[in-house]
């Protein structure tokens, strides 16, 4: 059974390059779709309806492209704030322990104890 102190000291590795490449692939795909929509020939019959649909589709694709741009900007911001593996290797894990509050440790111990009591109650009911 894990307590709250275990979650405070947990490490997680994220491959930011893969995320960035997937967002760039999405941007390229949307740009290609925009080019293809622009090339669509509009017949004389039902020109107004098709032009309207084409315009709506272009607006939708531009919204998606703006979302992808915002996502890429957030990814760059996150990349600049999160330490690189080389920077993280220089720092020991001791600084994480200093930031914990005593109340968090007590609360974690209390919750672990309460969880143990709950498990004992379930065992008694069985």
Pair (53, 40) in one structural domain: yes
- Predicted structure pTM score: 0.58
CA 82 and chain centroid, separation: 14
Pair (87, 98) in one structural domain: no
Pair (29, 39) in one structural domain: yes
16-25, 37-46, 88-97 — which is least confidently predicted?
A: 88-97
Evaluate whether 19 touches 75 at the Cβ level (below 8 Å). yes
Does 10 fall in a domain?
no
Pair (38, 76) in one structural domain: yes
Pair (72, 49) in one structural domain: yes
Mean pLDDT (whole number) for 30-41? 92
Q: Give 81-90's long-range contacts (Cβ < 8 A, gap of 24+).
A: 82/14, 82/16, 85/13
Whether residue 33 has pLDDT greater than 60: yes
Residues 6+ apart with CB under 8 A from 38: 58
Pair (60, 115) in one structural domain: no
Does 3 fall in a domain?
no
Question: pLDDT tens digits, residue range 64-88?
Answer: 999 999 999 999 988 888 777 676 6
What is the domain extent for residue 121?
A: 92-126
The pLDDT confidence band at residue 103, using thresholds 50, 70 and 90, is: low
Whether residue 14 has pLDDT greater than 60: yes
Number of separate domains in the chain = 2
């Amino acid at each position: 059974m894990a307590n709250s102190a275990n979650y405070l000291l947990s490490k997680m590795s994220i491959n930011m390059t893969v995320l960035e490449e997937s967002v760039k692939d999405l941007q390229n795909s949307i740009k290609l779709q925009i080019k293809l929509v622009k090339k669509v020939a509009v017949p004389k019959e039902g020109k107004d309806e098709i032009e309207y649909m084409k315009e709506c589709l272009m607006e939708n694709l531009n919204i998606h492209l703006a979302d992808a741009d915002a996502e890429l900007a957030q990814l760059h911001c996150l990349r600049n704030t999160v330490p690189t593996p080389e920077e993280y290797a220089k720092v020991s894990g001791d600084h994480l322990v200093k930031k914990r509050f005593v109340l968090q440790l007590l609360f974690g111990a209390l919750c672990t104890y309460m969880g143990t009591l709950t498990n004992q109650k379930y065992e008694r009911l069985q």
